Amino acid sequence: MVPCRYRASSVRFDVLTMKFLSNHLLVVSLLSFLIAPARGQSFLFLQGEPDEPLLGEQTLIYEESDGSFTLEMSSTNYVEIGFQVDGYGGWRFLFAARQGEPLIVGSYENAERYPFQGPKQPGMDISLGSGCSQLTGRFVVLEIQRNEQGEVTQFAADFEQHCEWLYSPALFGAIRFQSEMPLQDQDNDGIYDIADNCPLGWNPNQRDHDWDDLGDVCDAAPGVSYVWINIPDAEPPQSVFRNGLDGFFRAPGFVIPVPVVGAHVEGPSYWWILSFVLLNGQQFVPGVTYYFINNVPTQDQPEMYLERSGYVCNRSSWGWFHVLEYVFEDDFLESVAIDFEYRCSGSLTQFGSLRYNSQFIEPLVDADGDGVVDGSDNCPQQSNPLQNDNDQDGPGDVCDNRCFGVDCNDSSDCTIDSCTPQGCENLRLASGTSCGNPKSLERCDLPNTCNSEGVCIDHVMTPGIPCRAANDSCDRAELCTGTSPFCPLDEFIVNCNDGDGCCLPHCNPDNDSDCGPQSIPAVSTWGFLILTLLFLILAKVSWPRAQGQQHRT
């Protein structure tokens, strides 16, 4: 199911002809007079398009004398009203606000089947015994009153529902429960507001030349809507053009949690369904070409789906689609323009264009006029019919030669270096971004950060912060200087005081009882070994001399 802004416009498209409208204008005018309710009345108005699964192409009006209206269930979030038709069956009308929100007077667009709607979509379900397995639609709550217990006592709503798919025939209607709200036709053109493409502009013919679901009399910015598909290597070459879309959709998050746009078109003996899908958190960005390889299991690969009258590619397919325009605001797809190339293994290549309420009038945009459409042009803004790319880096030579053979790396950790058609580009990272090697930090060092000029700045700790603790009572604790990332050399206490626990060789025994009764400073083990070695050397030198003197004597 794939909802978007869609204004009951199959009546305005070729699904219902002007003959249908002309036959019903008189009926609608009479109905407005006959069933304008008195205070606290209940009634039901239903109008179906051809092949609508619940009602078909007919108009029904039920009043209290035709059956019983009952409040089935209600809460602050939803209301359900039933109507049992004498000798016919029971209708069920359920309307719900978005999850966690109260149902109040207002317009609810992009509705889905209750209770399976997404958390950001309102819910609805119009059924007659059985209903739609999926649906999309919209409804307008015109009146809702509750008693002290929270039960609904008065309710009025207009609605539009499409079973299964957005482009399926619509069921329009109005439900009143003990309400004084009449049917709404604010412009008095004989088309009720719920089905009027200009509710405030008189337009009984519902003319909409650009097929954007807004009638010409109230369309301030008309755009074009069509699908064009060209098969150049067919014999003979074939081209399909459909001025207007039988349906346009964007998948809701709870069905497919990724951005999807697509369309359905139908002719006398064919239909086309095409969709474009982005995965892994990507978004449609104008000016970007997305390359796809279907039937390859990956979460990073865009996808494209193309069906022609039931035929789909069941082998490998590949190609690209180029987004020219994409405006999606307030949960509505406002406009889109996409060109594409679709190849199916062992089949024909197909080029095409999708336009919805778009300012890009022509298909397969070729901005530089070199005969290569923008989607497959390696320099879409500069003419290069040969598509030369000597360094094989993607951009063609005519828009890549400003940095061809030039090293764009500026050796800064605070810039992102790249080659663009305008030359080397060195984008500065945001001020405060970490830079340098964090694993090389010394004891008095802090992480380096980029400044506003794109330079990596070395930071050190402030003076007085300990960087090496004392090991014993004769050791000193070292502190950062505030000017160097290195901790100072290890220092010991030299002038000891009596009773501080210091021992030799770092103190003087003459004024420190901790050093013991020695009359000379104690020496270290190495010192003792050196003195012993010197004694042995002197002894060895002196011994032979003494022996010589005794012999002469």
d(CA 255, CA 132): 16
- The residues, any chain, with a CB within 8 Å of residue 77's CB and separated by 6 or more, are 96, 97, 99, 100, 101, 102, 103
Please tell me the least confidently modeled range out of 106-110, 136-140, 409-413, 434-438: 434-438
What was the pLDDT predicted at 94?
96
What is the H or E stretch that residue 532 is in? helix 525-552
d(CA 332, CA 313): 30
Q: Is pLDDT of 46 > 80?
A: yes
pTM > 0.85: no
pLDDT digits (tens, 9 = 90+) for 263-319: 766 655 667 778 888 877 678 899 888 888 876 555 667 888 888 777 788 777 888
d(CA 9, CA 63): 27
Over residues 241-270, mean pLDDT:
53
CB count in 10 Å sphere of residue 521: 13
Q: Is pLDDT of 478 > 70?
A: yes
Q: Average pLDDT over the chain, rounded to whole?
A: 76
pLDDT digits (tens, 9 = 90+) for 363-377: 888 888 888 888 778
Please tell me the least confidently modeled range out of 83-92, 337-346, 400-409: 400-409
Domain boundaries, the chain: 9-214, 224-365, 461-512
φ and ψ at 113, to 5 degrees? -65, 125
Q: Classify the phi-psi angles of 331: left when phi > 0, otherwise alpha if psi is within -120 to 50, otherwise beta.
A: left
What was the pLDDT predicted at 544?
58
The answer to whether the CB of 339 falls within 8 A of the CB of 375 is yes
The answer to whether the CB of 205 falls within 8 A of the CB of 191 is no
Please give the full DSSP string across 304-327, using - where no structure is assigned.
EEEEETTEE--S-EEEEEEEEEEE
Closest among 73, 172, 84 to 126, alpha carbons compared: 172
The pairing of strands 271-277 and 456-460 is unpaired
Specify which residues 342 forms β-bridges with.
Answer: 319, 350
The answer to whether the CB of 320 falls within 8 A of the CB of 341 is yes
What was the pLDDT predicted at 171?
92
Specify which residues 339 forms β-bridges with.
Answer: 322, 353
